[in-house]
């Protein structure tokens, strides 16, 4: 599987507009993450449990349209990540400090649908070969991640309606904002092979520095 599979205009402008309207109507329920201890990501998030309760349209999109595409890209069956909070998220990034440091996902595959990107945000992905070589230095040096930025990586800027699929569990990646103006609004879905056991180490790290 390629480290990056981009499907431009996966959603129509009308679908994007409707999803933006639905998400915006629930902004008061988003949780603000401030980067615990200065290490974690800075963004606003609505987790999977809240999405099931408030945004069934997002749940349906993930099951009926996103999951088949991820299976086609991966060449095998997948199931949603078993963690009810992190299996799907709505994420909002604002300002240059908004985003994720270099990391590996707790799920094997990630599918990200862009609904808004007025701050020129990007996803950066280090190829699998380099990720294998660097993964054992990732978390010991998590507080000083700038060394990873010199590794070869692909930069992807998605537009509203684009779908990006990445092997986030095996390719080190990050999300960055391009300016202090505007925001980046994403729907994120996590998938694993059937029967996969979750990493206790990654779950611990996610709970400690994420949400």
Residue 11: predicted pLDDT? 98
Q: What is the domain extent for residue 39?
A: 5-209
Residue 208: predicted pLDDT? 55
CATH label of the domain that carries residue 72: 2.60.120.620
Q: Where are the alpha helices (DSSP H) in the chain?
A: 13-24, 48-54, 56-61, 67-74, 128-138, 200-209
Indicate yes or no: pTM above 0.85. yes
Contact 157, 164 (CB under 8 A): no
Count structural domains, the chain: 1
Contact 18, 177 (CB under 8 A): no
Residue 70: predicted pLDDT? 97
Q: Please enumerate in sequence order all residues whose Cβ is within 8 A of that of 9, keeping only pairs 6 or more positions apart, or say none.
A: 161, 162
Residues of the chain scoring pLDDT < 50: none
């Amino acid at each position: 599987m390629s480290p990056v599979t981009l499907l431009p205009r996966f959603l129509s402008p009308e679908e994007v507009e409707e999803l933006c309207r639905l998400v915006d109507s629930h902004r008061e329920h988003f949780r603000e993450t401030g980067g615990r201890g200065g290490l974690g990501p800075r963004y606003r998030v609505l987790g999977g449990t809240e999405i099931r309760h408030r945004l069934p349209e997002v749940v349906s999109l993930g099951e009926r349209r996103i999951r088949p595409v991820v299976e086609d890209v991966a060449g095998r069956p997948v199931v949603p990540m078993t963690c009810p909070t992190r299996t799907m998220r709505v994420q909002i990034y604002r300002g240059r400090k908004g985003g994720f440091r270099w990391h590996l996902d707790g799920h094997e595959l990630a599918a990200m649908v862009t609904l808004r990107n007025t701050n020129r945000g990007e996803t950066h992905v280090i190829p699998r070969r380099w990720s294998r070589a660097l993964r054992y230095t990732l978390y010991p040096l998590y507080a000083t991640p700038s060394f990873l930025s010199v590794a070869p990586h692909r930069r992807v800027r998605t537009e509203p309606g684009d779908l990006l699929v990445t092997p986030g569990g095996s390719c080190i990646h990050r999300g960055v904002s391009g300016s202090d103006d505007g925001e980046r609004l994403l729907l994120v879905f996590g998938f694993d092979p059937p029967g996969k056991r979750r990493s206790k180490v990654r779950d611990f790290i996610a709970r400690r520095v994420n949400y």
